[in-house]
């Protein structure tokens, strides 16, 4: 299984809602990533988990809360988002502690905040 | 500074033409890794190639080829005999160590349109 899956594919939420994005991989990878991509822009890193521990937080606002329950799962909890948070959210995974390991990306969740 | 520059914002070609996508990088590391990813309209980023700084051998995979030149800090990507299915945004990226992990620094991307 060389796939990273993400659910849901599309999400529309109001500014007062709480929702979660989910990501799963079964490649035995130990590093998992969340990226945010606005239209016509490159992906921007948000968080990195390595061996289920948060290793990089790119100064992301606290209304985004990541969680890594186990080595195969990665969640992104959303609360009190703003319309400017509307974007494509991409999850990726790679082998942990291997320099230059390629990252495999999921199909993304298209988030719209009203 | 760790940076990737893709100067070509958009390229449009006719099917069967060859096309080269440019990538110039900046890094202070002696060991580093470069990548190319393809992002079709569906949105998923597809890994194409990884190159480490010690391997300057050019690579060919079918219609795709990559030219890595440390002397000019470039890692260019050529598609030979382009096809409509090659239409996508292509990102060049540099792997940067941080906090015991690594992160990808992407160029701004080049949107390639191949017309029939």
Averaged pLDDT for residues B39-63? 91
Q: What mean pLDDT is predicted for residues B77-90?
A: 97
Q: Residue B44 is nearest to which of A102, A103, A107, comparing CB atoms?
A: A107
Sort out which chain B residues have CB atoms less than 8 A from A101's CB and list them. Answer: 102
From CA A81, how far away is CA A114, in angstroms rounded? 9
Determine the pLDDT at residue A8: 97
Contacts of A29 in chain B (CB under 8 A): none
Residue A106 near chain B (CB below 8 Å): yes
pLDDT at A13 over 70: yes
The predicted structure's pLDDT at residue A97: 74
Cα A15 vs. chain centroid, distance in angstroms? Answer: 19
Mind listing the pLDDT tens digit for each residue in A17-64? 899 999 999 999 999 999 999 999 999 999 999 999 999 999 999 999
pLDDT (0 to 100) of residue B68:
94
User: How would you class B71 by CB atoms within 10 Å of its CB: exposed for 0-12, middle for 13-18, buried for 19 or more?
Assistant: exposed
Inter-chain touch A45–B109, beta carbons under 8 Å: no
């Amino acid at each position: 299984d060389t796939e990273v899956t993400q659910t849901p594919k599309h999400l529309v939420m109001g500014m007062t809602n709480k929702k979660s994005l989910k990501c799963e991989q079964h490649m035995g990878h130990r590093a998992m990533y969340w990226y945010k991509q606005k239209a016509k822009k490159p992906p921007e890193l948000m968080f990195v988990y390595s061996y289920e521990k948060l290793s990089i937080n790119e100064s992301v606002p606290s209304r985004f809360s990541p969680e890594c329950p186990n080595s195969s799962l990665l969640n992104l909890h959303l609360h009190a988002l703003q319309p400017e948070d509307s974007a494509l959210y991409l999850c990726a995974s790679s082998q942990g502690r291997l320099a230059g390991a390629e990252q495999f990306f999921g199909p993304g969740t298209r988030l719209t905040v009203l | 500074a760790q940076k990737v520059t893709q100067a070509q914002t958009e390229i449009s070609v006719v099917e069967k033409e060859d096309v080269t996508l440019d990538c110039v990088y900046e890094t202070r590391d002696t060991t580093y890794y470069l990548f190319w990813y393809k992002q079709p309209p569906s949105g998923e980023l597809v890994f194409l190639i990884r190159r480490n700084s010690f391997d300057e051998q050019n690579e060919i995979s079918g219609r795709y080829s990559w030219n890595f030149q440390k002397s000019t800090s470039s890692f260019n990507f050529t598609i030979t005999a382009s096809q409509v299915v090659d239409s996508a945004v292509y990102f060049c990226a540099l792997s940067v160590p941080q906090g015991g992990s690594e992160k990808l620094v992407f160029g701004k991307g080049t949107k390639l349109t191949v017309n029939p």
